[in-house]
């Protein structure tokens, strides 16, 4: 299984530490969201996610590329979250929490005021959803297959009945449209 | 758009499309982690060890110097020896019985005691 992150991870392992920022930027939103399902608090979720990224970095030389890097990072983040719950439990409640018992959906969470120096992801999500829905069908399909369903280019090529080169070019075009829609939300950086 | 920013936005897009995003997220999340990673490790190498000993010795010397100057300058020692004998005779009040005098007609001296 070819991991898209392998070239970057190889560079990090060979001493180019600064490249780890690419990994963090790529997965930060999903990892914080995962940790939030357990911690139920955004500041705590960020703290746990930070710990997970640091743990992954410190154990990177043990990663054997037998699975995707994100799956490995996901597992580390779950372990960190469970450790967090257990440490909280000792002081608060004596309730056994299984791996999935902390999982909740966003739907129940009321709109929270965005703190200073933070991205309002809800606003970004609304924008992305509307732009995604207005995309031409062929672009929408490649985005769905690659970014939502996590399919390989070979699998995408079989489903869309298009050559891999065309798939890649369509995907690039679709991502460009979507990221451009988010640019104004990160202009102050 | 620079590469890191593009990767960040692509990450946001993917998280949003997968519905795996937090409601808000610190802008400096990645830089905080990179700061931790770039922090120099505090290993006990020879240089660090030597530096710690040198700073401890410097602190000890300065402390001794300050204590020496503060404590010794203000003490005024007596020029005479404390073992010198006391020359004036002492008077044991408890054991001495003084005579009383009848002061009927005579003028009482300042030191005389009146008989009861």
Tell whether the model's pLDDT for residue B112 goes beyond 60.
Answer: no
Per CB-CB distance under 8 Å, the chain B contacts of A70 are none
In a domain, A97, yes or no: yes
Q: Note whether A92 and A135 are same-domain residues.
A: no
Q: Note whether B6 and B28 are same-domain residues.
A: yes
Residue A188 confidence class, pLDDT cut points 50, 70, 90: low
Q: Note whether B34 and B7 are same-domain residues.
A: yes
Query: Which residue blocks in A40-163 are alpha helix, DSSP H?
Result: 42-58, 69-91, 121-133, 137-143, 153-160
Q: Please state the rounded mean pLDDT for residues A43-61.
A: 94
Dist CA A182 CA A90 (whole Å): 42
In a domain, B99, yes or no: no
**Within 13 Å, how many C-alpha atoms sit on residue B87's CB side?**
1
Q: Which residue of B has its CA nearest to A112?
A: B23
The residues in A 46-65 lying below 8 A from B, measured between CB atoms, are 46, 49-50, 53-54, 57
A84 to chain B nearest CA, in Å? Answer: 18
Q: Note whether A95 and A178 are same-domain residues.
A: no
Q: Note whether A61 and A152 are same-domain residues.
A: no
Tell whether the model's pLDDT for residue A142 goes beyond 80.
Answer: yes
In a domain, A107, yes or no: no
pLDDT digits (tens, 9 = 90+) for A61-82: 889 888 999 999 999 999 999 9
Q: Note whether B67 and B46 are same-domain residues.
A: yes
Going by C-alpha positions, the residue among A64, A80, A78, A67 that lies closest to residue A13 is A64
Q: How far is CA A119 from the centre of its chain?
A: 15
Per CB-CB distance under 8 Å, the chain B contacts of A132 are 17
Tell whether the model's pLDDT for residue A98 goes beyond 60.
Answer: no
Q: pLDDT at position B67, please?
A: 86
Q: Note whether A90 and A154 are same-domain residues.
A: no
CB burial readout A49-82, b (16+ within 10 A) else e? bbbbbbebbeeeeeeeeeebbbebbbebbbebbb
B17 to chain A nearest CA, in Å? Answer: 6
Q: A48 versus A118: which is more confidently predicted?
A: A48
Q: Which residue of B has its CA nearest to A125?
A: B16
Instruction: Tell which of A71, A101, A131 closes a domain.
Output: A101
Q: Note whether A38 and A87 are same-domain residues.
A: yes
Pairing relation of β-strands B113-114 and B24-26? unpaired
State whether residue A187 is helix, strand or coil. Answer: coil
Q: What is the total count of domains within chain A?
A: 2
| CATH number of the domain within which A153 lies | 1.10.10.10
Tell whether the model's pLDDT for residue A58 goes beyond 90.
Answer: yes
Domain span at residue B21? 1-39
A128/B6 CB distance under 8 A: no
Q: Note whether B22 and B47 are same-domain residues.
A: no
A46/B6 CB distance under 8 A: no
Tell whether the model's pLDDT for residue A157 goes beyond 80.
Answer: yes
A19 Cβ neighbours under 8 A, 6+ residues apart: A8, A11, A12
In a domain, B1, yes or no: yes
CB burial readout A132-142, b (16+ within 10 A) else e? beebeeebebb
Q: pLDDT at position B104, please?
A: 59
In a domain, A108, yes or no: no
Taking residue A127's Cβ as centre, other Cβ atoms within 10 Å add up to 16
Per CB-CB distance under 8 Å, the chain A contacts of B40 are none
Dist CA B99 CA B96 (whole Å): 10
Per CB-CB distance under 8 Å, the chain A contacts of B28 are 117
Q: What is the total count of domains within chain B?
A: 2
Which of A17, A54, A120 has the CB atom closest to B24's CB atom? A120
Q: pLDDT at position B2, please?
A: 74
The DSSP bridge partners found for residue A120 are B24
User: Which of A125, A146, A150, A184 best probes binding to B when mutated, by most B CB atoms within 10 angstroms?
Assistant: A125
Domain span at residue A87? 1-101
Residue A96 confidence class, pLDDT cut points 50, 70, 90: low
Counting one residue from A and one from B, how many pairs have CB atoms under 8 Å apart?
Answer: 145
Instruction: Tell which of A101, A135, A158 closes a domain.
Output: A101
Q: Note whether A12 and A91 are same-domain residues.
A: yes
Q: A142 versus B71: which is more confidently predicted?
A: A142
The residues in B 16-55 lying below 8 A from A, measured between CB atoms, are 16-34, 36-38
Instruction: Tell which of A66, A101, A136 closes a domain.
Output: A101
Residue B70 confidence class, pLDDT cut points 50, 70, 90: confident
Q: pLDDT at position A107, please?
A: 44
| Top-ranked range on mean pLDDT: pick from A74-83, A94-103, B74-83 | A74-83
User: Of the given ranges (A44-53, A77-86, B86-95), which has the lowest mean pLDDT?
Assistant: B86-95
Residue B21 confidence class, pLDDT cut points 50, 70, 90: very high
Q: Note whether B49 and B60 are same-domain residues.
A: yes
Tell whether the model's pLDDT for residue A25 goes beyond 90.
Answer: yes
In a domain, B56, yes or no: yes
Average pLDDT for chain B? 77
The residues in A 83-142 lying below 8 A from B, measured between CB atoms, are 106, 109, 111-112, 114-115, 117-122, 124-125, 128-129, 132
Share of chain A above pLDDT 90, in %: 67
- ipTM for this model: 0.84
Residue A110 confidence class, pLDDT cut points 50, 70, 90: very low
Helix (H) or strand (E) holding A120: strand A118-120
Q: pLDDT at position A108, please?
A: 43
């Amino acid at each position: 299984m070819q991991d898209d992150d392998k070239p970057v991870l190889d560079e990090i392992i060979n001493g180019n530490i600064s490249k780890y920022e690419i990994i963090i930027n790529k997965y930060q939103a999903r990892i914080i969201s995962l940790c939030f399902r357990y911690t139920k608090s955004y500041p705590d979720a960020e703290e746990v996610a930070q710990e997970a990224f640091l743990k992954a970095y410190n154990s990177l030389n043990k990663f054997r590329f037998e699975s995707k890097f994100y799956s490995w990072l996901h597992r580390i983040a779950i372990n960190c979250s469970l450790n967090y719950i257990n440490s909280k439990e000792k002081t608060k409640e004596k309730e056994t929490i299984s791996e999935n018992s902390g999982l909740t959906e966003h739907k129940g969470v009321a709109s929270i005021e965005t703190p200073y120096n933070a991205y309002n992801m809800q606003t970004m999500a609304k924008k992305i959803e509307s732009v995604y829905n207005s995309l031409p069908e062929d672009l929408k399909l490649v985005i769905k297959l690659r970014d939502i369903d996590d399919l390989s280019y070979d699998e995408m090529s079989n489903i869309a009945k298009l050559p891999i080169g065309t798939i890649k070019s369509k995907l690039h075009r679709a991502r460009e449209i979507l990221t451009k829609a988010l640019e104004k939300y990160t202009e102050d950086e | 758009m620079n590469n890191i920013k593009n990767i960040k936005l692509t990450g946001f897009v993917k998280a949003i499309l997968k519905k795996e995003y937090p409601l808000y997220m610190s802008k400096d999340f990645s830089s905080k982690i990179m700061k931790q990673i770039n922090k120099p490790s505090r290993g006990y190498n020879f240089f660090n060890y030597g530096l710690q000993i040198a700073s401890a010795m410097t602190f000890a010397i300065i402390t001794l110097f300050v204590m020496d100057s503060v404590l010794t300058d203000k003490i005024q020692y007596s020029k005479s020896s404390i073992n010198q004998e006391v020359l004036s005779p002492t008077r044991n009040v408890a054991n001495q019985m003084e005579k009383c005098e009848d002061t009927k007609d005579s003028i009482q001296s300042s030191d005389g005691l009146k008989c009861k």
